[in-house]
Chain A
Amino acid sequence: MATTDITAAFLPLTDSAIFVAARECGFAEEEGIALSLLRETSWANIRDRMAIGQFEAAHMLAPMPIAFALGLTPLALDVVVPMAMGLGGNAVTVSAALFGAMQQAAPFSPPDPAAVGRALKAVVDRRKADGEPPLQFGVVHAHSGHNFELRYWLAASGIVPDVDVEIVVVPPPFMPDALASGQIDGFCVGEPWNSVAVSTGAGRIATVKSAIWKSSPEKVLGVRADWAMRNDDALSRLVRGLYRAAEWCGNPDNCGALSHILARPEYIGQPAALIARALEGTVVDSLSAGDKARFFEPFAHAATFPWQSHALWFYSQMVRWGQVKHTSAHAEAARRCYRPDLYRAALQPLGVPIPAANAKVEGALTETEPVGATSGALLLGPDGFFDGQIFDPDRLDTYLSEQAKR
């Protein structure tokens, strides 16, 4: 088998784990891929460098390729998503002062999104009555799961984003300092940056992504569409290598080794013990065993499958927050950049269970349940939104009009 050189860019986040394990533990090599990893400083850099062909693949925020497909970015890029890079992994952290004020207003225990939302709402209302300026929350990017899950949680808690609280963009590694210096009052970011803020005493974790929307998508593998078209075999091998890497990352026995690899300066450059918190699900003390396992799921429950219902939900939120106007052509463009067909083509030779459907009703599963798969048994985890809403991708228009009223 000829070796194919592939360069993938990533940002220093715990959910770059699958890329890092694919390179460091030989999973890419086994598939004849010489995988080089390039640490980048911004999502904009990943976009721009990929656009001029400096690399083929990248760690991307799940809504990013959709934003490309809809022409929402300053520089054009055509990207396909043949695979997801795990579920969950983010948290909402607030300053120690805000955490205290929230506890005083309406006692809660993290990460219960409804109770935490009530407490935040009480503080927001009091500040408004006292004529204080709105609280500021940081997210990593306008087209990010962080932005959308934070807004979803706020809105469902009766807090109007951009009116009752301001949402600003801050690069992930700067979040802990921005919180400590009082520039922002809270943020929604991926690990290890919540744990870093907690470890310095600047912040407390209020709630987590995996509680706001269970089994929710976060990062994806983004591949340049022109490269993917010309290199279908290499793409399949890359996906297989990453799938095996995800399986390794998902094995609790490998947490220690994985956190030490990720801790290295060329990857995340933070203490292994802090990185391990996300891998072990111990970012918040009070998480139940099930919530621990769910906090960041790199492999189980089809965590690497690029569900088109995930793409469409992100699209629904882009419409909700005014990033794009809804048309059936836009919705179709959003759906089509997630490519379950490429995922199946790549993994078919492995004989592993793959979902038979391309989309699912998000929020329909309340328990772990077996679903239709290409071979063997496949379990999917609960995928509900904390407010009990259901997202049926076949009823997108209804969802959009109902959400506009909420």
Chain B
Amino acid sequence: MPSQLPSVLVVDDNSVRAAIIEAGLREAGHDRVTVVTDVTGIAGKIAVLEPDVIVIDLENPNRDMLENMFQLSRAVKRPIAMFVDRSDRESIERAIEAGVSAYVVDGLRRERVKPILDMAISRFNAYSRLERELEDARNALQSRKIIDQAKGLLIRSRSMSEDEAYTLLRKTAMNQNRKISDVAQSLVLAAEMLGKGEADGDD
């Protein structure tokens, strides 16, 4: 039985995100999915693949080049429209907000493309969420390191126990209405400025 689902080309210089989208499409039964992370020579690839749908990350600086190529349609045999249905305002907004642009060959019905676009949108959003969480985790790790450094300073300079050091940091933070990590940062900075270089955290 010939493949019934449209073929998809994913153009994204973020290879992790591209892989996530590809996996999603394959799970949904698409067996003709190609991922391109480097646009060099893409005209040739498109001519060979003849994709029905092209998904491109919105931030890709090569979008003007790609659109021009679609319009010249030497590489693309059938004219390509952006998204599927200009009247489907809600889909277009969701896509652009998620950072997805999609180009679809002429004549492809909306209901055949919508699931692909929805998939790309949800995976782009999931990726952004993941990135944010990673960033938060990185910040959390950074905070913990700086609090450890500050505790170490207090333990050494004021002969406190670890618990006492932490309690002091927390109390100061509460009194000054600041985050513990900010108080710890100030303390470490002050120690560095006063030449107590032992707070370099190589513990």
> Which residues of A come within 8 Å of B, CB atoms?
41-45, 48-49, 51-52, 54, 74-76, 140-142, 168-171, 173-174
Contact = CB atoms under 8 A, between A and B. Distances in A.
A21 to B, nearest CB: 25
B49 to A, nearest CB: 20
B93 interface: yes
A315 B59 CA distance: 29
A244 to B, nearest CB: 31
Interface string B153-166: 00000000000000
A169 B86 CA distance: 25
Contact of A142 (B63, B68, B92, B93): B68
A76 B86 contact: yes
B82 A168 contact: no
A21 B28 CA distance: 50
A43 B93 contact: no
Contacts of A141: 64, 68
A74 B93 contact: no
Interface in B26-74: 58-65, 67-71
Of the candidates A41, A51, A76, A174, the one having the most CB atoms from chain B within 10 angstroms of its own CB is: A41
Given A52-B93, A52-B97, A41 B61 contact: yes
Interface residues of B, number: 24
B149 interface: no
- Interface SS majority for chain A: loop
Of the candidates B59, B65, B70, B83, the one having the most CB atoms from chain A within 10 angstroms of its own CB is: B65
Given A41-B59, A75-B86, A52 B65 contact: no
B64 A171 contact: yes
A169 B65 contact: yes
Contact of A48 (B61, B80, B81, B101): B101
B103 interface: yes
Contacts of A74: 67, 70, 80-82, 103
Contacts of B59: 41, 45
Nearest to A171: B61
B96 interface: yes
B42 to A, nearest CB: 12
B97 A45 contact: no
B67 A44 contact: yes
Nearest to A162: B72
B58 A75 contact: no
A38 to B, nearest CB: 12
A245 B70 CA distance: 38
B64 A52 contact: no
Given A75-B86, A142-B71, A43 B64 contact: yes
Contact of B63 (A44, A51, A174): A44
B96 A44 contact: no
Closest 6 CB pairs of A and B: A74-B82, A169-B68, A44-B63, A169-B65, A41-B61, A42-B63
A255 to B, nearest CB: 29
A224 to B, nearest CB: 14
Given A74-B67, A169-B68, A45 B86 contact: no
Contacts of A76: 86
Nearest to B81: A74
Contacts of A170: 65
A48 B96 contact: yes
B51 to A, nearest CB: 16
Nearest to B67: A44
A174 B61 contact: yes
Of the candidates A42, A49, A52, A168, the one having the most CB atoms from chain B within 10 angstroms of its own CB is: A42
B117 to A, nearest CB: 14
